[in-house]
A and B are shown apart, each in its own frame.
Chain A
């Protein structure tokens, strides 16, 4: 079965379906509904036998590269253009098909936002390359 990453972003991606404020400015019950839904998604994936992993990333980003021989790594932590993509986290799923991955991603995207209306958030669906087949 192929594995997919369903990537969520802090920013970047296609134009949002509709604008919404950051979560700390939502009504408390909307925050609760949103967090409850995320937990619910992970539970459902586990129940379905499709769950591999789920992780969240902090929004702090540091770009780093080799500094050259005998030099410290070169880093930059910004500022980055507001349009640059910033991954917020992912679900990794192990599913029967690409279509199933899209179906689950769409479900994740239906997560409740302000007013507990669906966020229609864009998700980035990426197939994970499988390891080379083991010698038999």
Chain B
């Protein structure tokens, strides 16, 4: 980019957020106050730059933020003003300057902050999202997020932020952002990937690359994960032609560079498993023995996997079911009954294994049990469908006169009442 007249590129503007903030904090400003001042400078930039573009946006923001810091010391009113004003915010954009990103990430992901606060603070101070956008993403009132952020910053106030932070916490926060991003008006998934990518520029730690690879390799399947009606499509039934091969290729590249360091970790192994699924041209060609080998490594990372990483043990049980037979897989799940017996995933996995062995009655029962415990609507609906489908495949169900074929899915029944329409012009 030339230094003359950069247009109001919001992606560029947002990428500057962690850099300017890092500069201010390194100079000795309080993180809390600096973040406030920078938010004000950003609002000012959005107002002023369309007519008077800055020659050097980073220097401009630093100058304005510094001025605000001086103002803020004089007047507590600055805080209230800033909280009201944050609105238009930019979409994601590429960035460099990894060191600054890492520095600000460490500030936001201090271990003593609650995860929800780490996430909110990271999205604002590193991602440059507004309080309102963060609130929209999590379906909570804007005031709730504003409060969460200001409480988090109060915790950090006056703290010297010059020690290296805990990278494991940063990785966990970014993964939380990623997993939270399945719904909502804000593209948190894209944001998490953007931040993870920035992080890999800032640290050579292979787990950071493992996390980015895991995100990319899962995200690549996104278009196939729901059908046109919004129904969940399980991995074995997905249209693999919809998978993003470019993203898979990037994920595999990133993963290989991480694995080459030979310090495997949780995210690298999960990414390797995702890569093996992505690599299969059809569900039947899935390399389950390889997947099982990776799961063996995954559960070996903890001393007591059943308690410390039950999700890994459950994932391994599926692989065992595909390699050694459904009965062996089911035996593996028995170990988890005490820990996961009330979770829908445990029942869903058992249902899948029963179905794998052709035992449709226990499969239908287990799907129904899973549906009862599901905590999101799409998943619940999916599990109810699976239960109904398994039951309908039973020979005895075909004799049931109430269960004959009856038109295609989602058909509006004949003669149903018309939708009561609101009277025209009614207020």
Contacts and interface: CB of A to CB of B under 8 A. Distances in A.
A58 B413 contact: no
A35 B420 CA distance: 19
A107 B417 contact: yes
B262 interface: no
Contact of A28 (B371, B374, B388): B388
A115 to B, nearest CB: 6
B385 A31 contact: yes
From A1, A33, A44, A49, residue with most partner B Cβ within 10 Å: A33
Interface string B370-397: 0111110100110011011101100000
Interface in A65-99: 96
Given A22-B368, A58-B373, A112-B416, A27 B409 contact: no
A114 B422 CA distance: 29
Contacts of B392: 27-28
Interface in A97-136: 100, 103-104, 107, 110, 112, 114-118
Contacts of A50: 422
Contact of A29 (B230, B371, B407, B426): B407
Contacts, number: 97
Given A58-B374, A115-B406, A33 B413 contact: yes
A31 B402 CA distance: 13
Contact of B407 (A100, A116, A117): A116
Report which residue of A1, A32, A48 has the largest number of chain B beta carbons within 10 angstroms of its beta carbon: A32
Contacts of B367: 24
Contacts of B75: none
B381 A35 contact: yes
Nearest to A44: B419
A28 B385 contact: yes
Contact of B406 (A35, A110, A116): A116
A107 B412 CA distance: 14
Contacts of A58: 372-375
For this complex, into which size category does the number of interface residues on chain A fall? 35 or more
B163 interface: no
Nearest to B420: A103
B410 interface: yes
Contact of A27 (B380, B406, B410, B427): B406
Contacts of A36: 229, 409-410, 412
A2 B63 CA distance: 51
Contacts of A116: 406-407, 411, 413
9 contacts: A1-B427, A24-B384, A25-B387, A26-B388, A33-B411, A56-B377, A58-B372, A59-B372, A117-B413
Given A29-B405, A48-B421, 16 more contacts: A22-B368, A24-B367, A24-B371, A25-B388, A27-B392, A28-B409, A35-B384, A36-B410, A39-B230, A58-B373, A107-B419, A112-B413, A112-B416, A116-B406, A116-B413, A117-B413
Interface of B: 229-230, 364, 367-368, 371-375, 377, 380-381, 384-385, 387-389, 391-392, 402-413, 416-417, 419-423, 426-427
